[in-house]
Structure 1
Amino acid sequence: MRIAAVQMDFTLADVPGNLARMIEKVREAHAGGAKLVVFPECALTGYVFDSLDEARPYAETIPGPSVSAISAVCVEMGVYVVYGMLERDGDRIFNALALVGPKGLVGSYRKVHLPYLGIDRFTDFGDQPFAVYDIEGVKIGMNICYDGGFPESGRCMALMGADLIVLPTNWPASAVTAADYMTNTRALENTVYYAAVDRIGVERGVPFIGKSRICDPLGRTMSAADHANDAILYADIDVARARNKHLVREAGVNEVNRIADRRPEMYGTIVEPHSLKRPGR
């Protein structure tokens, strides 16, 4: 399966305009052979809202209007799309992703780890377990931005059989080291394809750094974008490579399997509750 990672700018609070530009990019990516098209975090709405009250009018249910609009394009072209949005569920607002295909909504994700930044200062913590979705034989897992800095997130989905993990993100300037190193590391440690899809532009004085990247199951960069320009990155996903966790460098001498070689009985500390105070909360 060929995937496309769309690095582009968005306009805060302009849902119709952002949606129209996304649909144009889906058509462009489809012309480039992509079957799955991935957009950044909060692509539909923008990110740097100053309050929940300001953001609330732009949040939608999942499924909802944008899922219907994207689904119509997916039907037309036979593609799948992952995009970021704000999800409304009763009085709660989540930083979320929707995965949409020719048959409508395939799945969704709510951001689990929230930094004290932008709209994440006000949204609710994701309350749904990590999940993996099968799209025409490729198993895909989803995270958002800050989630990528927590190896447990990617590992959970790798253990569920993910071939590809996508990370729509809005990286500010302070996240440059994450952009430079984290994507490759998450791919390597889980032996999966990993696609970090960032935005560009400046929103209310906050610059976003781009540097989107797709990595292979050995942690090698397959395709990368610069920090300032629109780009569509393409990569071909070979599920056999992602599912072969037993890597034989020299038979009987140098063999590793980062899934089978785990020692979960030694990891209890990771899931123990803590009493640390989250910044700003």
Structure 2
Amino acid sequence: MLIACVQSDVSFAQPAANLSRVLVWMQKAADPDRGGESGSGKSRPAELIVFPECMLTGYTFDSRQQALDVALELNDPIFGQLIHAAGQWRQIVTIGFLERSGDKLYNSAAMLGGSGVLGCYRKIHLPALGVDRFVDRGDRDYQTHVVQTARSGSARIGLAICYDASFPEPMRVLGLAGAEVIALGTNWPNEGIRTPSIVPPARSMENHLYFVAANRVGSENGFQFCGRSSICGPDGVVLAKSDDDQETILFAEADLAIARNKTIQRTPGTHVIDRFADRRPEFYGKIVQAVDAQNAQQER
């Protein structure tokens, strides 16, 4: 499967302008004669396109009401246009946006295909940054979605957003749920510039899968975003990456059979590891204990 990772600027609080930008990127990913691509992808249409966090709406809102005024429902015509384009170009697209659901506000990522909305994840781990100060915490478990690609058959894709990846536990949950690819939309600012070089290779290595980190670029309300998006393969191999904060699109080939096979034979018979089969969860109880409970236990 050919994966495309879009590193794009975003127009703050302008969904229509961002839709136009997204459609241009989708068309470029679909063009086998695009030329000048970054990464190992051959000149053929990409099947999975990963966009940044809050791509359609922007991120650095100063109040909940300001964000609600821009937030989109999943039945918004914008998604209808994206679904139509995904069908036209035979793509699976993951894209970030602020989601309004009744009186709730979520930082969400939708997965779209020509048949409609294939999945929607609501961000669970919320930093004290930007709109995450005002949104509601995600209310859905981490899930792996089985999708049918146009040329490569079925693929299992897990969704996550930015700060989620700073915690190994949810990425492992997606891996245990069968994810072959984790699509992570991010808004990493310059202050977090070390994260792009550390987290994606670590999470792909830990879970022996493909990890796509699409970060945005540009500035927004005093924040500058660092780019440095990447596509990593099983065992943390960097297949394609950006080394700067300029708009670009990365491409990489993904052999999903490699991600499905968790047994790694570095030297057959003498050096074989399986990071899933070798786990000992009976000793991991403290991972799911509340922090206060752990502190109380230590004090005793």
For normalisation by structure 2, the TM-score amounts to: 0.90
* Aligned counterpart, 1:7: 7
* Aligned counterpart, 2:254: 237
* Aligned counterpart, 1:117: 129
In 2, are the aligned partners of 1:63 and 1:105 still within 8 Å (CA)?
A: no
The DSSP-based 3-state class of the residue aligned with 1:202 is strand
1:1-281 aligned at under 5 Å gives the runs 1-32=1-32, 33-136=45-148, 137-275=154-292
The DSSP-based 3-state class of the residue aligned with 1:201 is strand
Q: Give the aligned residue type for 2:225.
A: F
Supply the distance in 1 between the matched residues of 2:238 and 2:12 (Cα, whole angstroms). Answer: 31
Would you identify which runs of 4 or more consecutive aligned residues in structure 1 move more than 6 Å?
none
In 2, are the aligned partners of 1:214 and 1:223 still within 8 Å (CA)?
A: yes
Structure 1: runs of 5 or more not aligned: 277-281
Supply the distance in 1 between the matched residues of 2:282 and 2:271 (Cα, whole angstroms). Answer: 24
Deviation at 1:273, TM superposition (A): 1.8
Supply the distance in 2 between the matched residues of 1:227 and 1:124 (Cα, whole angstroms). Answer: 32
For normalisation by structure 1, the TM-score amounts to: 0.96
Q: Give the aligned residue type for 1:30.
A: A
Deviation at 1:118, TM superposition (A): 0.3
Q: Give the aligned residue type for 1:259.
A: F
Q: Give the aligned residue type for 2:72.
A: E
- State the number of aligned residues: 276
Q: Give the aligned residue type for 1:173.
A: N
Supply the distance in 2 between the matched residues of 1:80 and 1:249 (Cα, whole angstroms). Answer: 33
Deviation at 1:58, TM superposition (A): 1.1
Deviation at 1:93, TM superposition (A): 0.2
Deviation at 1:251, TM superposition (A): 2.0
Supply the distance in 1 between the matched residues of 2:242 and 2:75 (Cα, whole angstroms). Answer: 31
Supply the distance in 1 between the matched residues of 2:146 and 2:233 (Cα, whole angstroms). Answer: 19
Supply the distance in 2 between the matched residues of 1:249 and 1:202 (Cα, whole angstroms). Answer: 44
In 2, are the aligned partners of 1:151 and 1:186 still within 8 Å (CA)?
A: yes
Q: Percent identity?
A: 41
Of the structure 1 ranges 220-229 and 58-67, higher mean CA displacement relative to structure 2 is found in 58-67
Supply the distance in 1 between the matched residues of 2:98 and 2:81 (Cα, whole angstroms). Answer: 16
Deviation at 1:206, TM superposition (A): 0.3
* Aligned counterpart, 1:279: none
Deviation at 1:264, TM superposition (A): 0.4
Q: Give the aligned residue type for 1:52.
A: R
CA RMSD of aligned residues (A): 1.1
Q: Give the aligned residue type for 2:107.
A: N
Query: What do residues 185-228 of structure 1 show as CA deviations (whole Å, max 9, x unaligned)?
Result: 00000000001000000101100000000000010100001222
Supply the distance in 2 between the matched residues of 1:195 and 1:241 (Cα, whole angstroms). Answer: 16
Supply the distance in 2 between the matched residues of 1:194 and 1:173 (Cα, whole angstroms). Answer: 21
Supply the distance in 2 between the matched residues of 1:84 and 1:105 (Cα, whole angstroms). Answer: 13
